[in-house]
Amino acid sequence: MQSKNKHEINPRISTDCVIFGFDFNQLRVLLIERSAVENVPSMMALPGDLIYEEENLDMAASRVLKELTGLEEIYLEQVAAFGDPNRLSKKNDQLWLKSVRQDPDARVITIAYYSLVNLDNYAPQASSFAKAASWILVDEIKELAFDHAEIVSAALKKLKDKIISQPIGFNLLPEKFTLSQLHRLYESILGRDLDKRNFRRKMLKLKLVESLDEKQEGVPHKPSQYFKFNEENYNKLIENGYDNFGF
Amino acid sequence: MQSKNKHEINPRISTDCVIFGFDFNQLRVLLIERSAVENVPSMMALPGDLIYEEENLDMAASRVLKELTGLEEIYLEQVAAFGDPNRLSKKNDQLWLKSVRQDPDARVITIAYYSLVNLDNYAPQASSFAKAASWILVDEIKELAFDHAEIVSAALKKLKDKIISQPIGFNLLPEKFTLSQLHRLYESILGRDLDKRNFRRKMLKLKLVESLDEKQEGVPHKPSQYFKFNEENYNKLIENGYDNFGF
DNA sequence: TGTCTTTGTGTCAATTATACACTTTGCGAA
DNA sequence: TTCGCAAAGTGTATAATTGACACAAAGACA
């Protein structure tokens, strides 16, 4: 780690956050709008910024997320580092950087993080250099700034892998939820249908949810039972090394 | 990504490589020996160094690995980024850095990579600042420089996750191998026993190995059949989204 | 020819995965 | 009031997979 020569550089380091949210129907990602500058239309991007001196990477990701979108207290997990020397060199990205950055040609390596939230609990408030922050349907993302589309894909893959092997996903739901909501959540993330009866059977057998004495009201169909997440059983399961949730 | 203030830094970026090798019995990791300096005994470390300007992260990892150990053409996969501001600040690490680095206090964020090789095919040759490079049993690693023990743990966890869900591991074996060797390989990585008959049944059903018309010779017991990896079937399996190898 | 060592093999029971369709509930419109 | 609607909720049969378990076969060597 100590050799020195002309090739070496001090690149800049940023973090970008891929926050997935679920609106009871579809999976969305929190994106900010990059301001339009001369000849460059505005464009959606992941919330991300450079890290600070005294921060570790996790802290940097949390801070940046809060600064750009107002969201805080979100558990973030690392996706990967993205460091292609050309990751900022698409023409529009370059033009944009030139108009807003002091050192537009500096290489930037980014550490991507992801998380899952119940988007009803988080109303993003754009600030700092973000012009807007909003929840965009994953399926409708077209072009993103820099290599952010690639980062979103990598984060989504990570999320799929994780939800297959571990019963996460309860963070995305409100305190009380119905099994149909949970079912749709899993289908949204995995991008495929899951049999309703088999899904319910599995969930109930694991005892990760317990039914409340409360039903939906005012719906024009049979009201569904509300459930809550049983954190105690979840912790037991994880302690026992259970890592095959099996979807 | 463009705000500017006093907190921001240009840290240095390195890569560290966790190369796992298998000697037909146990899992080992390729470590280099960090030179002793005044008052600091020599210490084992992962091969790692700073990245170059024009390199992407994968290329940097390959180059660094080659420079320090002579190993090349190894497929490396990212583990994670490690960027704690104090990751280089253990006392002995600091003393060592002061004696060999021009800027011992610079913060260094490292991108860790890992791989698996058949160690018979790779005889490490220490060079550059590595005093020695050798294959150390994973179970016998004691203290490593910097946060490298943490990095090895993270890489091992990644390797386990991967070998559970995907039939990797053939890269670790010679072109022809016996099912017992493959069996021991899996047991070494997972750190637990696997039933011999069940293991063989699963391997043969997946058709990832095919038997050769060749047996062991000169062994003082029943000679075992040689097999080879069937790459075609492996690719088919991966294409079909098969991701539950099931160990 | 006997002993040693590792290879190689089959079955049964338990668990898990998959496929599949109808009844129930409550609302609101006619 | 009753009818239709929409989503909730429920059971079973079959196939596939897992896990546990013990002994015979092959070849080397003494």
Domain final residue, candidates A134, A164, A194:
A164
Residue range B119-154, pLDDT digits in tens? 877 888 888 777 889 999 999 998 999 999 999 999
Which pLDDT band holds residue A9 (cuts at 50, 70, 90)? low
Please check whether residues A158 and A196 belong to one and the same domain.
no
SS3 letters across B165-228: HCCCCHHHCCCEECHHHHHHHHHHHHCCCCCHHHHHHHHHHHCCEEEEEEECCCCCCCCCEEEE
Domain final residue, candidates A164, A188, A212:
A164
A226 closest-nt by C1' vs CA: D8
The domain containing residue A154 runs over which residues? Answer: 12-164
CA distances from B150 to A25, A183, A191, B49, B80 (A): 40, 37, 35, 17, 11
Amino acid letter for position A121:
N
Residue B226 reports pLDDT greater than 90: yes
Residue A57 reports pLDDT greater than 90: yes
- Position B3 scores a pLDDT of 42
Vertex A132, ends A126 and A133: CA angle to 5°? 70
Residue range A212-245, pLDDT digits in tens? 999 999 889 999 999 999 888 888 877 766 556 6
In a domain, A170, yes or no: no
Which pLDDT band holds residue B92 (cuts at 50, 70, 90)? very high
Please check whether residues A154 and A216 belong to one and the same domain.
no
Among A170, A162, A158, CA closest to A235: A170
Beta strand pairing call for A12-22 and A108-118? parallel
Please check whether residues B21 and B87 belong to one and the same domain.
yes
- Which of B228 and A39 is assigned the larger pLDDT? B228
Please check whether residues B153 and B179 belong to one and the same domain.
no
- Position A172 scores a pLDDT of 73
Please check whether residues A186 and A160 belong to one and the same domain.
no
Judged on CB neighbours under 10 Å (0-12, 13-18, 19+), A164 is middle
- In the predicted model, what is the mean pLDDT of residues A127-139? 87
A108-117, A127-136, A216-225, B62-71: the lowest-pLDDT one:
A127-136
What's the total number of domains in chain A?
Answer: 2
ipTM for the complex shown:
0.86
Residue of B nearest to A111 (CA): B81
Task: Evaluate if the CB of B196 falls below 7 Å from strand C.
Answer: yes
Vertex A33, ends A27 and A37: CA angle to 5°? 155
- Position B9 scores a pLDDT of 65
Domain final residue, candidates B145, B164, B183:
B164
Please check whether residues A154 and A212 belong to one and the same domain.
no
Please check whether residues B157 and B201 belong to one and the same domain.
no
Residues contacting residue B224 through CB under 8 Å, at least 6 positions apart: B178, B179, B180, B215, B216
Residue range B23-44, pLDDT digits in tens? 878 899 999 998 888 888 889 9
Please check whether residues B84 and B129 belong to one and the same domain.
yes
Q: In the structure encoding, which two tokens stand for residue A62, read together?
A: 């949390």
| CA B155 to centroid of chain Cα atoms | 7
What letter does residue B88 receive in the DSSP assignment? T
- Which of A112 and A162 is assigned the larger pLDDT? A112
What letter does residue B90 receive in the DSSP assignment? S
Cα(A92)–Cα(A96) distance, integer angstroms: 6
| Cβ contact A2–B128 (<8 Å) | no
Please check whether residues B193 and B71 belong to one and the same domain.
no
**CATH number of residue B110's parent domain:** 3.90.79.10
- What is chain B's percent helix, strand, coil content, to nearest 5? 35, 25, 40
Q: CA A200, C1' C28: Å apart?
A: 29
Please check whether residues A37 and A128 belong to one and the same domain.
yes
Please check whether residues B66 and B121 belong to one and the same domain.
yes
Residues contacting residue B22 through CB under 8 Å, at least 6 positions apart: B28, B116, B118, B119, B172, B173, B185, B188
**CATH number of residue B188's parent domain:** 1.10.10.10
- Does B51 touch chain A if contact means CB atoms closer than 8 Å? yes
Mean pLDDT for chain B overall: 87
Judged on CB neighbours under 10 Å (0-12, 13-18, 19+), B241 is exposed
| Cβ contact A13–B109 (<8 Å) | yes
B210, β-bridge pairs:
B228
- Position A247 scores a pLDDT of 66
- Which of B2 and A115 is assigned the larger pLDDT? A115
Q: Chain B interface, mutation test: which of A2, A15, A110, most B Cβ atoms within 10 Å?
A: A2
Mean pLDDT for chain A overall: 88
Please check whether residues A31 and A138 belong to one and the same domain.
yes
- In the predicted model, what is the mean pLDDT of residues B75-103? 91
Cα(B69)–Cα(B65) distance, integer angstroms: 6
In a domain, A120, yes or no: yes
